[in-house]
Amino acid sequence: MKKAKILVIDDEKLLRWSLQQNLAKEGFSVITAENGTSGLQLFNEEQPELTLLDIHLPDISGISVLEKIKKDNQDAIIIMITAYGDIRTAVKTIKIGAYDFVEKPFNMDKIKILLDKALETSSLRKEVHQFRTQLSRKYGFKNVIGKSNEMVKVLELVKKVSKSDATTIFLHGESGTGKDLIAKVIHYEDRRSDKPFMDINCTALPETLIESELFGYEKGAFTDAKNVKKGLFELADGGTIYLDEIADMKLSTQAKLLKVIENKIFKRIGGIKDIVVDLRVIASTNKNITEIVKKGDFREDLYYRLKVVPIYLPPLRERKEDIPQLVKFFIDEFNNEFRKNVKGISKETEKYFLGYPWPGNIRELRNVIERAMILENADYILPQHLPGELLSNDLHVKDIADSQIKIPPGGMNIEEVEKELIKQALEQKKWNQTKAAKLLGLTRDALRYRMQKFGFLDEKT
Ligand SMILES: Nc1ncnc2c1ncn2[C@@H]1O[C@H](COP(=O)(O)OP(=O)(O)OP(=O)(O)O)[C@@H](O)[C@H]1O
Ligand SMILES: [Mg+2]
């Protein structure tokens, strides 16, 4: 493996020479400068992995060289060379961002150990940095597709909240409309982006586990608590915690959550010490939460606290003008992933896409494209590459056209028509909500929402 490049900035010729000899023997590539100005220049030209920098230089002070390098290269690893006993200055340099310091005259073996440790840190820092850049590239605004009025409004709101101090945000909308994506975008477009994004699915974990995941526990808090464990609230400090499917959280956990949101203070399970955190909490659900609150399964106070900043993601069938752009986005994504060169969808396929109600929303659209691109090897996605439900929907579209719903000359009340169609569907399917929803191209929740609106829920359920 190629060893790192090290820059030595020191005015003592003998010291430069001895470092060069010794470190070259270890396989490092060493470059040297005899004063601050040429040191800075060499740093910029060569971008060394590590710099050994003398505090006392003939032209500018080592401290100002350190400040200059750190200003533009936050992750640079710099080890200061200080005079024996000059601890105060050494400590000052650490505060500015030096990695460590060594005192003159120094022991070569010690220096080698220090260099190895520092370089390990440097490569870890680089990895973290790369990882974060990848994530913020993946979860930036440019990866949220949508030019429809509905999505433009959503994105404006998302931009505002990600830059604001709003600490609780509530995302709601049907399954597959992009709630997880938006939660990540809010985090990665925010000043919090270099802090953790922690997510937890409240459905997946039983109540007792959710609490220990969220709050952590002290050693001995319960039989299995052999050691202290930090919870997600503590681990996400400074960043964001995303509570997915919040509607499935049990009432007792909800009470504790409300306290954390309001006071930013909590205790580990079995603990007495208050832990203070600075967090943004994003909660999401694809359920009709007002109904759940009414039933008493979700605390009203928590609901009001959460929905201070609500963001509603509209279903895809209400923003079909976004379909062509989404299709292009996903085709590009899978061309990259599968090393293919699919050019687009055929005109006929586009008709099916625009006619279909997409009950699984954007997730379903993405899956349909992924499936077609995995299974088929054509330049364009054709109707024969689509799953059955998309094609059979065509019949419904034609049926509707054939049944000739015409607006009467005197106008009509669209709510009344909607109510009538919902009633017909429910009657036709003997009040089976899942089947009636399918008949109308709605999700069951969307149907229930309308049933509630038109007073059908109280009648039959
Ligand atoms: N506007 C968008 N632009 C690009 N991709 C999107 C958009 N909205 C959603 N997606 C993609 O669609 C898929 C489903 O989105 P996501 O997981 O965020 O949905 P969700 O609302 O959290 O669903 P659920 O309620 O089932 O958890 C993901 O792959 C996501 O990246
Ligand atoms: Mg989700």
Give residue ranges with CB within 6 A of ligand 1. Answer: 144-146, 173, 175-181, 286, 329, 362-363, 366
Q: Region 427-452: what's the mean pLDDT? A: 88
**Smallest CA separation from ligand 1 atom 24, residue:** 175
How does residue 205 score in pLDDT terms, banded at 50, 70 and 90? Answer: confident
Q: Is the peptide bond before 105 cis (omega within 30 degrees of 0)?
A: yes
Q: Which ligand has the nearest atom to the CA of 179?
A: 1
Atom of ligand 1 nearest to the CA of 151: 1
- Is pLDDT larger for residue 177 or for residue 128? 177
Cβ atoms within 10 Å of 443's Cβ, excluding its own? 22
pLDDT at 394 (0 to 100): 52
| 362 Cα: distance to centroid of ligand 1 (angstroms) | 6
**Cα–Cα distance measured from residue 350 to residue 357, given in angstroms and rounded to the nearest whole number:** 13
Q: Region 110-121: what's the mean pLDDT? A: 91
pLDDT at 372 over 90: yes
| 316 Cα: distance to centroid of ligand 2 (angstroms) | 15
Determine contact, residues 32/7, Cβ cutoff 8 Å: yes
**Smallest CA separation from ligand 1 atom 13, residue:** 363
* pLDDT tens digits for range 270-279: 999 999 999 9
Q: Which of 150, 154, 180, 320 to mutate to test the pocket of ligand 1 (most atoms within 8 A of CB)?
A: 180
Q: Which of 81-85, 156-160, 212-216, 342-346 has the lowest mean pLDDT?
A: 81-85
- Is pLDDT larger for residue 411 or for residue 450? 450
pLDDT at 67 (0 to 100): 96
pLDDT at 181 (0 to 100): 96
Atom of ligand 1 nearest to the CA of 146: 1
Most confident of 132-141, 198-207, 356-365: 356-365
Q: What percent of the chain has pLDDT over 70?
A: 96
pLDDT at 87 over 90: no
| 359 Cα: distance to centroid of ligand 2 (angstroms) | 15
Among all chains, which residue has been given the structure tokens 């100002």?
64
| 363 Cα: distance to centroid of ligand 1 (angstroms) | 6
pLDDT at 130 (0 to 100): 77
pLDDT at 194 (0 to 100): 81
| 143 Cα: distance to centroid of ligand 2 (angstroms) | 17
* pLDDT tens digits for range 125-165: 888 877 877 777 788 888 999 999 999 999 999 999 988 88
pLDDT at 393 (0 to 100): 65
| 283 Cα: distance to centroid of ligand 2 (angstroms) | 10
| 234 Cα: distance to centroid of ligand 2 (angstroms) | 23
**Cα–Cα distance measured from residue 388 to residue 415, given in angstroms and rounded to the nearest whole number:** 31
Determine contact, residues 144/181, Cβ cutoff 8 Å: yes
Mean pLDDT of the chain, nearest integer: 89
The half-sphere exposure of 408 on its side-chain side, counting CA atoms within 13 A, is 6
- Is pLDDT larger for residue 350 or for residue 222? 350
| 176 Cα: distance to centroid of ligand 2 (angstroms) | 7
| Residues pairing with 168 in the sheet | 281
Q: Which ligand has the nearest atom to the CA of 155?
A: 1
pLDDT at 412 (0 to 100): 75
Contacts of residue 264, defined as CB under 8 A and 6 or more positions apart, other chains included, come to 276, 277, 278, 279
- Is pLDDT larger for residue 345 or for residue 229? 345
How does residue 195 score in pLDDT terms, banded at 50, 70 and 90? Answer: confident
Q: Region 207-227: what's the mean pLDDT? A: 87
pLDDT at 124 (0 to 100): 84
pLDDT at 81 (0 to 100): 93
**Cα–Cα distance measured from residue 382 to residue 386, given in angstroms and rounded to the nearest whole number:** 7
Determine contact, residues 195/203, Cβ cutoff 8 Å: no
Q: Region 340-366: what's the mean pLDDT? A: 95
Q: 51-85: buried (b, 16+ CB within 10 Å) or exposed (e) per residue?
A: bbbbbbbeeeebbebbebbeeeeeebbbbbbbeee
Determine contact, residues 459/431, Cβ cutoff 8 Å: no
* pLDDT tens digits for range 292-338: 999 999 999 999 999 889 999 999 999 999 999 999 999 999 999 99
pLDDT at 443 (0 to 100): 85
Q: Where are the beta strands (DSSP E) in 277-410?
A: 280-285, 310-312, 344-345, 380-381
Chain-centroid distance of CA 430 in Å reads 43
Q: Region 101-129: what's the mean pLDDT? A: 87
**Smallest CA separation from ligand 1 atom 9, residue:** 178
Which of 67, 17, 9 lies closest to 34 in space, CA to CA?
9
**Cα–Cα distance measured from residue 7 to residue 32, given in angstroms and rounded to the nearest whole number:** 6
Q: Which of 148, 151, 177, 312 to mutate to test the pocket of ligand 1 (most atoms within 8 A of CB)?
A: 177
**Smallest CA separation from ligand 1 atom 25, residue:** 175
| 245 Cα: distance to centroid of ligand 2 (angstroms) | 7
Atom of ligand 1 nearest to the CA of 365: 12
**Smallest CA separation from ligand 1 atom 12, residue:** 363
Cβ atoms within 10 Å of 32's Cβ, excluding its own? 19
Which of 324, 233, 341, 327 lies closest to 280 in space, CA to CA?
233
| 117 Cα: distance to centroid of ligand 1 (angstroms) | 42
**Cα–Cα distance measured from residue 29 to residue 12, given in angstroms and rounded to the nearest whole number:** 19
| 319 Cα: distance to centroid of ligand 1 (angstroms) | 14
Which of 8, 153, 180, 10 lies closest to 78 in space, CA to CA?
8
pLDDT at 399 over 80: no
Atom of ligand 1 nearest to the CA of 182: 18
Q: What are phi and psi of 408, to 5 degrees?
A: -65, 155
Q: Which ligand has the nearest atom to the CA of 243?
A: 2
Q: Is 140 left (phi over 0), alpha (psi -120 to 50) or beta?
A: beta
**Smallest CA separation from ligand 1 atom 7, residue:** 178
Q: Which of 78-87, 109-118, 282-291, 339-348 has the lowest mean pLDDT?
A: 78-87
Q: Region 419-427: what's the mean pLDDT? A: 89
Greatest alpha-carbon span in the chain: 100
| Residues pairing with 80 in the sheet | 53, 101
Q: What percent of the chain has pLDDT over 90?
A: 58
* pLDDT tens digits for range 402-414: 555 667 777 777 8
Q: Which of 242, 287, 363, 369 to mutate to test the pocket of ligand 1 (most atoms within 8 A of CB)?
A: 363
How does residue 459 score in pLDDT terms, banded at 50, 70 and 90? Answer: low
Q: Which ligand has the nearest atom to the CA of 362?
A: 1
